[in-house]
Amino acid sequence: MADKKTTSFLELINGETPVLIDFFATWCGPCHAYSPILGQLKSDLGDELRLVKIDVDRNEALCQKLGVTSMPTTMIFQNGDMKFRAAGVQPIGVLKAELAKLSA
């Protein structure tokens, strides 16, 4: 039986609108540097993107299931499928290029 967090996660990623998930930790320096980049991305794309931040320390089971071992880790999902995954801070241009592939 899936737990509530897993069920909520599956519901979250199963939409047509791309979902960018930022797996972060409050104690992670690069994660703090990444936050303004993601904020700008969301500002630029508006409703074309759902941005979700997941604290790895509060969601250990989900992170383990997805193999998140470094922070920040970025994943982009659409229609329940992972379309992009990268560890470390990603430039906004890389993220926009990956998201553009989904609407092409």
Structural domains for the chain: 17-103 (3.40.30.10)
DSSP β-ladder status, 19-24 and 73-78? antiparallel
Each residue's pLDDT, cut to its tens digit, for the chain (104 residues) gives: 345 565 688 888 999 999 999 999 999 999 999 999 999 999 999 999 999 999 999 999 999 999 999 999 999 999 999 999 999 999 999 999 999 999 86
73: β partners: 23, 87
User: Could you say which of 12, 25, 28, 66 is catalytic?
Assistant: 28
Beta strands in the chain (DSSP E): 19-24, 50-55, 73-78, 81-87
- Residue tagged active-site, from 19, 31, 76, 99: 31
Residue 2 has what pLDDT? 47
Question: What per-residue confidence (pLDDT) applies to 3?
Answer: 53
Whole-model pTM: value is 0.91
Q: Does the active-site annotation cover 63?
A: no
Identify the pLDDT of residue 102: 94
pLDDT at 1: 38
